[in-house]
């Protein structure tokens, strides 16, 4: 049965979608079957693996609102072992439409159940906010991976995120755990990056990945070409970082 990992941080610009795309792609090239579920109305994880979001009729919106089977919307990516359940900007209205639904927090988990055996890992890319889509993702997941950028106010808002995780654990999903904490946008030349690293390690301890994601121009360029950085520039620092993270992730899961 596939493990479900949600990648979440309500702060924007921390490398959440970049991590969803590139960690999933890096595990896929190691010949594990991987599915990305995009629950962000911005649909960046979908376009970042080459999906033309504008022409999609069936997306995660139809799954959550119209009970369409999840397997019907899944699409192939450029990589043989990587698949995507895409989002669409119309997802922005889903939270209002879900208000009067029974068991609305469990919609995504119910949709996932029939396909869990089809994948080794399922990564959910969340919106950069703590809304009903995020709660659905937490309720469906086994664990949460938290990207934190090595910049000022790196830990700002994390208390709210952790409180949300604890509330979900208490009332909706007791098995939910913190998968790991990933430092992104790291620059070893800057005292600030090293200071943030120490602060995050003091806060999260052994949950912090040894691998860090360095600042890398190619990581920022790859999504505009609809590719993970692995296929865009395999020799870039970003590609090497995410391959290393994938190895650490799989080792921890062994």
Write down the domain spans for the chain.
3-253
For residue 241, give the H/E element and its range.
helix 237-253
What pLDDT digit, counting tens, does each position of 203-251 carry? 999 999 999 999 999 999 999 999 999 999 999 999 999 999 999 999 9
- Greatest mean pLDDT among 12-16, 153-157, 238-242 lies in 238-242
Contact predicate 224/233, CB 8 Å = no
Please tell me the class of the 3-253 domain. Answer: alpha beta
Handedness of CA 184, 185, 189, 194 (dihedral sign): negative
* Closest C-alpha to 132, from 53, 40, 221: 40
Whether 141 and 165 have beta carbons less than 8 Å apart is answered as no
**DSSP type of residue 208:** B
What is the rounded CA–CA span in Å between residue 94 and residue 34? 25
């Amino acid at each position: 049965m596939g493990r479900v990992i949600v990648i979440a941080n309500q702060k924007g610009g921390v490398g959440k979608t970049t991590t969803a795309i590139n960690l999933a792609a890096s595990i896929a090239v190691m010949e594990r079957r991987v599915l990305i579920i995009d629950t962000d109305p911005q649909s960046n994880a979908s376009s970042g693996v080459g999906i033309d979001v504008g022409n999609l009729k069936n997306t995660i919106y139809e799954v959550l609102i119209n009970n369409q089977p999840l397997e019907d919307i899944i699409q192939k990516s450029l990589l043989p072992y990587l698949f995507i359940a895409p989002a669409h900007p119309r997802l922005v209205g889903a939270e209002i439409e879900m208000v009067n639904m029974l068991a609305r927090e469990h919609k995504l988990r119910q949709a996932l159940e029939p396909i869990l055996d089809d994948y080794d890992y399922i990564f959910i890319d969340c919106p950069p906010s703590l809304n009903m889509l995020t709660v659905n993702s937490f309720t469906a997941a086994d664990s949460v991976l938290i990207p934190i950028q090595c910049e000022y106010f790196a830990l700002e808002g994390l208390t709210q995120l952790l409180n949300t995780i604890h509330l979900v654990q208490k009332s909706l999903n007791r098995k939910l755990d913190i998968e790991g904490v990933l430092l992104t946008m790291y620059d070893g030349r800057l005292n600030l990056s090293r200071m943030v690293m120490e602060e995050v390690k003091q806060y999260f301890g052994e949950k912090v990945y040894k691998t860090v994601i360095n600042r890398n121009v190619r990581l920022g360029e790859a999504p505009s070409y609809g590719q993970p950085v692995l296929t865009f520039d395999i020799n870039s620092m970003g590609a090497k970082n995410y391959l290393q993270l994938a190895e650490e992730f799989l080792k921890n899961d062994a």
